[in-house]
Amino acid sequence: MRKSENSRASELLKTILNDEDYLVKATMMRACIGSNVPIEMIKAGLNDKHWFVRADAMRACTGRDVPIEIIETGLNDKDYEVRVAAMQACEGREVALEIIEKGLRDRNNSVRASALQACEGREVPIEMIKKGLEDESDCVRVAAIKACKGREDIPLENIKSWLRDIDRDVMRAAMTICSGRKLSLKVIEEWLKDSSECIREAAMRACEGREVPAEIIESGLNDESIDVKQAAANVCDGLNIPINIIEKWLKDDDAYIRLAAMRSCRGRDVPIKIIETGLKDHIWFVKKAAMQACKGREDVPLELIKGGLLDNDFDVRAVALSVCNEYDLSTKIIEEWLKSHSRYLRAAAMETCRGREVPIEIIEAGLKDDYHGVRRAAMELCKGRDVPPEVIEKGLKDDDMVVRKNAMSVLLDYCERDDGFEKVLPRKISDEIELDM
């Protein structure tokens, strides 16, 4: 945005903040979230008499290096929603421990939970976390458990007791802190024999990102619990499992063992016939893993990717599309796919055009398609390039809301140019079109 435009935008924001209608102000502050608006705007929002305007003003501070005084203002607010937003603004930035301690002393449990969330990934005294673990509120205790992730000073017995907790949120929080925790192989083997499936799953999660004996993985894969099997398959992600074992696993009747085989192929130069076997599987998550193993490879035949794009399962098609985007498809293939009876293949043809200069005829063909996914992608291709006025007009009148929004983005792109959009769209067009954005 040019300097003059930025100045005009600031003036507009000030005008809106002075509006008597609190809904107008609330809408404006909500729009500021995630935007780099001037600090003065946030300060003005924090001084508003309506709590939801102040709360959104505080939320606009998240991810920004705002002065600590602004966060302190939010923490002193009478409304807990504003105080929660103030604590959330502390996440990922350096703040004094006193700020977090103040949040932990708050009378509202949501504020205390947010204070503990701000402790995640930060070196804080264990006493602060223990205080949360002893809290009377479930949501605060769950946040305290999550704040234990990455800490080696939490006794294993505590973790095991949390994993046995009847509260599923507590149990799941304990599960997350086991991922990547450096448990000894002896402890892992011991936990895999436990009667609690949550503890067995936690044992497998603790194996993620490290080399462990094949016997441990197979023990998890042969478990009676699907969650443990899934965790064991995740451990295999990119693991250097011998080819002969992968081939053996692919012949197993258990789908999760076949999934583990395909997961171990990711990022590895395994024979293409192994990936082909996975893509022919009748279970969708095995095919999805096989398609993921195609990423970054240059020796995968396009016909295999095309088969993934035609698959009945959405997840398989989505991964196939991301793999397809790595290919520099020729204009001839794109035109051929655009004539396909499969709407997914036509959509993929348009998606692969992103970031490329394609003939306007291809975009126009995409905008005439009866599948909205193709038209959405076609309209996206218009951004940042000169297109005939009729193309934008067609997008603005489309039945699909996303297509219309994409068309509006193209129009706004023209607005930022010196010649304005009057040069692009005749006045009669802009007068005739009713926009319900």
Contact 71, 61 (CB under 8 A): yes
| Tokens representing residue 358 in the block | 């394609």
Angstrom distance (rounded) from CA 273 to CA 296: 17
Q: Which amino acid is at 426?
A: P
Q: Which residues contact 40 (CB under 8 A, 6 or more apart)?
A: none
Q: Which residues contact 129 (CB under 8 A, 6 or more apart)?
A: 116, 119, 144, 147, 148, 151
Run of H or E residues at 105: none
Angstrom distance (rounded) from CA 104 to CA 218: 44
List the beta strands (DSSP E) in 51-131: none
Helix (H, G, I), strand (E, B) or coil at 276: helix
Angstrom distance (rounded) from CA 10 to CA 13: 5
| Tokens representing residue 270 in the block | 């395994």
Helix (H, G, I), strand (E, B) or coil at 10: helix
Q: Which residues contact 165 (CB under 8 A, 6 or more apart)?
A: 171, 174
| Tokens representing residue 433 in the block | 């079109």
**3 state SS for 310-337:** CCCCHHHHHHHHHHHCCCCCCHHHHHHH
Helix (H, G, I), strand (E, B) or coil at 113: helix
Q: Which residues contact 44 (CB under 8 A, 6 or more apart)?
A: 14, 17, 57
In this structure, the number of other CB atoms found within 10 A of the CB of residue 193 comes to: 10
Length of the chain: 437
Angstrom distance (rounded) from CA 48 to CA 203: 51
Contact 87, 114 (CB under 8 A): yes
| Tokens representing residue 265 in the block | 């192929």
Q: How many helices (H) and strands (E) does the chain have?
A: 29, 0
Please list the rounded mean pLDDT of every run of 10 residues in the chain (437 residues).
45 58 68 72 81 85 84 91 91 84 93 91 85 89 89 85 87 84 87 92 89 88 93 88 92 94 92 94 95 90 90 92 84 89 90 83 90 92 82 88 88 63 46 44
Which one, of 336, 366, 334, 339, lies nearest residue 352 by Cα?
A: 334
Per the listing, tokens 């002193």 go with: 76
Angstrom distance (rounded) from CA 183 to CA 430: 65
